[in-house]
């Protein structure tokens, strides 16, 4: 097994004497379909962000590191734009990983991490949906679910606010699925959700229910998805930083 590239930037001087055990995160950024050019920069961003919040970040692109034995000591796996995993992660490791999740593991998906294009059905089932289309990089209106107001993941935002990024659409909404809590939705009246692209000629907008951030408890596992994360500019903001830290804490069961 390849050794993990472990980025531990937390200085002992930055931790109070009585601090809790740091959260251990494995960031997985291998791709088998489209690869976002900024994946390496995002890995570094996550490491620096984690260092400020007692979160240790390890980075890998080796599927062997998704085996149960390798995941001992990690609180969650964060998929950084890791597309079409079913084509690069062997089936035996897929099964181990899903069992690890069901027994109490945490999965956090950022942006194209949810893009599996049907290649890993069990992971898609946990997410509740798969990728369908995306927008241009534009400003859109976020609508905060009333039940989510005050939650750290929405970083103090209330009711609605605007944010600029490129936005994913999905093959079905996740609202109402067992264990799913939608935190943020997109108002499709504020932007064009399906950009001009040959692959999207027959794609339709999602309509009034367009979730873009949700979490789910399933069996003993925790799953969290955020649509942010195409590149650094979409996450290195006051909202983005607080949003990601809160997401990691919730997925690790440390909220």
pLDDT at 193 over 80: yes
- So what's the pLDDT on residue 15? 41
Q: Average pLDDT in the 227-237 region?
A: 96
CB 117 within 8 A of CB 123: no
Q: Edge-to-edge, what's the strand order for the sheet holding 55-60?
A: 5-7, 55-60, 23-28, 76-80, 106-110, 221-226, 211-218, 180-187, 131-144, 160-170
Beta bridge partners of 110: 80, 226
Q: Among 9-18, 135-144, 220-229, 242-251, whose mean pLDDT is lowest?
A: 9-18
CB 167 within 8 A of CB 193: yes
- So what's the pLDDT on residue 196? 92
Read off the pLDDT band of 254 (50, 70, 90): very high
3-state secondary structure of 191: coil
Work out the burial of residue 182: count CB atoms within 10 Å of its CB; fewer than 13 is exposed, 13-18 middle, 19 or more buried.
Answer: buried
Read off the pLDDT band of 20 (50, 70, 90): confident
Q: Average pLDDT in the 88-102 region?
A: 98
CB 163 within 8 A of CB 191: no
pLDDT at 5 over 80: no
- DSSP per-residue letters across 198-244: GGGTT-----S--EEEEEEEETTEEEEEES--SSGGGTSSHHHHHHH
pLDDT at 14 over 90: no
Q: Average pLDDT in the 106-116 region?
A: 98
CB 164 within 8 A of CB 234: yes
pLDDT at 81 over 60: yes
Q: Average pLDDT in the 79-88 region?
A: 97
User: Token digits for 172?
Assistant: 């079905």
């Amino acid at each position: 097994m390849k050794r993990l590239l472990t980025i531990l930037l937390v200085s002992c001087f930055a931790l109070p004497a009585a601090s809790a055990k740091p959260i251990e995160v494995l960031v997985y950024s291998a791709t088998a379909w489209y690869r976002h050019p900024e994946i390496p920069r995002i890995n570094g961003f996550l490491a620096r962000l984690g260092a400020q919040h007692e979160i240790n970040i390890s980075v890998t692109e080796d599927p062997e590191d998704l085996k149960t034995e390798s995941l001992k000591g990690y609180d969650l796996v964060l998929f950084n734009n890791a597309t079409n995993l079913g084509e690069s992660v062997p089936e035996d490791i897929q099964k181990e990983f899903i069992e690890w999740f069901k027994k109490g593991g945490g999965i956090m998906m950022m942006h194209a991490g949810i893009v599996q294009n049907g290649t890993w059905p069990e992971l898609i089932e946990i997410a509740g949906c798969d990728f369908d289309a995306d927008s241009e990089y534009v400003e859109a209106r976020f609508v905060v679910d009333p039940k989510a107001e005050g939650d750290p993941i929405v970083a103090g935002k209330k009711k609605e606010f605007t944010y600029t990024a490129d936005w994913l659409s999905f093959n079905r909404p996740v609202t109402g699925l067992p264990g799913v809590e939608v935190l943020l939705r997109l108002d499709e009246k504020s932007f064009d959700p399906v950009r001009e692209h040959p692959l999207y000629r027959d794609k339709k907008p999602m309509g009034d229910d367009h979730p873009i951030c949700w979490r789910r408890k399933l069996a003993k596992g925790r799953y969290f998805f955020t649509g942010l994360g195409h590149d650094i500019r979409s996450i290195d903001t006051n909202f983005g930083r607080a949003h990601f830290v809160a997401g990691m804490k919730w997925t690790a069961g440390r909220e």
